């Protein structure tokens, strides 16, 4: 039976000081149902584990499985799914600050939702960015953009331009280039550590980021 609804995995304990929503990649188009064992979904599991470890169990980490593989034009299927996930988080932990961590298409989703009122941090890993995408930056928003210099799937130059646009809007932006490809395999531990430490600081020690 096809999976036609998004799904979350992870826990949302009452004492969590912050929540991280982990967003997987996909493609331009496609209504093929996504499964938990799909490579784009599994690729984000080490990030969830690294964040949980870095946060000393003070941060709730939940992974989203989208309904479909594709972005699907104006439908923006994964954005709809992520909004559903944010609603679930807010109902369970109202008022708790949120960070979004996404790879490729998931990075595009995270950047699209950066304007949400309770999103304090965004990590976009090798993000898929189109020239017409609108940056959502503001003072107090912490953004980490990481891109592989050998990436042939998404464009590091667009990530650099987006970083500059976000800074003009007042966001605190960290831009890291990695000698790696789109799949983040050659220096996997560096990607994992950087993302985990960044969201830990954004959610647990925001005062450090506000000074930058």
Q: What is the pLDDT of residue 3?
A: 55
Q: What are phi and psi for residue 124, nearest 5 degrees?
A: -115, 115
Q: What is the pLDDT of residue 1?
A: 41
Pairing of strands 7-10, 18-23: unpaired
User: Could you tell me the pLDDT band of residue 49, with boundaries at 50, 70 and 90?
Assistant: very high
Residue 167, helix vs strand vs coil = helix
Q: What is the pLDDT of residue 183?
A: 97
Average pLDDT, the chain: 95
Q: What are phi and psi for residue 10, nearest 5 degrees?
A: 135, -175
3-state per-residue secondary structure call for 51-120 = HHHHCCCCEEEEEEECCECECCHHHCHHHHHHHHHHHHHHHHCCCCCEEEEEECHHHHHHHHCCCCCCEE
Q: What is the pLDDT of residue 171?
A: 98
In words, the CATH class of domain 7-204 is alpha beta
Residue 124, helix vs strand vs coil = strand
Q: Does pLDDT of 43 surpass 90?
A: yes
Give the separation between CA 13 and CA 206, rounded to whole angstroms: 21
Q: Does pLDDT of 159 surpass 90?
A: yes
Q: Does pLDDT of 107 surpass 50?
A: yes
User: Could you tell me the pLDDT band of residue 9, with boundaries at 50, 70 and 90?
Assistant: very high
Sheet bearing 119-125, strands edge to edge: 7-10, 59-65, 18-23, 98-103, 119-125, 142-148, 172-178
User: Could you tell me the pLDDT band of residue 57, with boundaries at 50, 70 and 90?
Assistant: confident
Name 46's Cβ contacts closer than 8 Å, sequence gap at least 6: 188, 192
The answer to whether the CB of 166 falls within 8 A of the CB of 173 is: yes
Q: What is the pLDDT of residue 211?
A: 35
Residue 131 CB coordination number (10 Å): 8
User: Could you tell me the pLDDT band of residue 205, with boundaries at 50, 70 and 90?
Assistant: confident
Percent of the chain exceeding pLDDT 70 equals 95
């Amino acid at each position: 039976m096809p999976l036609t609804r998004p799904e979350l995995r992870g826990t949302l304990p009452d004492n969590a000081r912050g929540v991280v929503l982990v967003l997987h990649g996909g493609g331009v188009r496609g209504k093929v149902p996504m499964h938990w064992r799909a490579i784009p979904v599994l690729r984000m599991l080490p990030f969830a584990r690294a964040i949980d470890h870095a946060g000393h169990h003070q941060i709730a980490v939940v992974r989203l499985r989208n309904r479909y593989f594709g972005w699907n034009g104006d439908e923006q299927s994964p954005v709809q799914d992520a909004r559903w996930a944010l609603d679930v988080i807010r109902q369970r932990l109202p008022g708790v600050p949120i960070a979004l961590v996404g790879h490729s298409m998931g990075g595009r989703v995270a950047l699209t939702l950066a304007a949400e009122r309770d999103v304090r941090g965004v990590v976009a890993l090798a993000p898929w960015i189109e020239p017409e995408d609108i940056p959502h930056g503001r003072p107090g928003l912490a953004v980490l953009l990481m891109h592989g210099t050998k990436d042939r799937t998404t464009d590091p130059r667009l990530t650099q331009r987006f970083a500059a646009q976000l800074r003009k809007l007042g966001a605190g932006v960290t831009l890291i280039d990695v000698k790696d490809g789109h799949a983040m395999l050659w220096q996997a531990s560096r990607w994992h550590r950087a993302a985990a430490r960044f969201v830990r600081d954004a959610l647990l020690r925001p005062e450090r980021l506000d000074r930058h």
